[in-house]
Amino acid sequence: MNRLDHLLVLTLAVYGLCYILMYGSIFNGPRNYLMRKFRWFQRLITCPLCTGFWCGLALSNWHLTPLQISSKWHEWAMVFPFACYSAIVCYILHLYTEILLAKAYPSIDASRCPQDDEGVDDKNYQV
């Protein structure tokens, strides 16, 4: 697998992780619990730019592996740009997904991102 193929696969993985963290039903319990408990987490998890940055930071190790960088300084110098790259890719793909959803399902609200206290259910999820 060449570097461009690797970057494409990793880009899709970062967006997939971002989307699952933001909307995946498997994370409803922990996500809603953390959104109720920490106000900053609610702002973080509803922002595709923010979530994409942190997903890119988490997956940057797989981006750096095929580059074979010689020193630790150069390795860390590549982590931040990749996190920024993944943030903008997640943001653009999120906007594109929202546009497609609005076209496919015009009866639902175009934006699924909760505003203020929307989307936080009152169920008691025990973690």
Tokens of 6: 């690797």
Do residues 11 and 86 make contact, with C-beta atoms less than 8 angstroms apart? yes
Q: Which of the two residues, 61 and 63, has the higher pLDDT score?
A: 61
Q: pLDDT of 111-125, one tens digit each?
A: 555 555 555 566 666
Note the Cα 15 to chain centre separation in Å: 6
Per-position DSSP letters for 72-95, written without gaps between them = HHHHHHHHHHHHHHHHHHHHHHHH
pLDDT for the residue 74: 61
Cα dihedral angle (121, 124, 16, 115), rounded to 10 degrees? Answer: 20
pLDDT for the residue 6: 81
Q: What global pTM score does this model have? A: 0.72
Tokens of 58: 């988490």
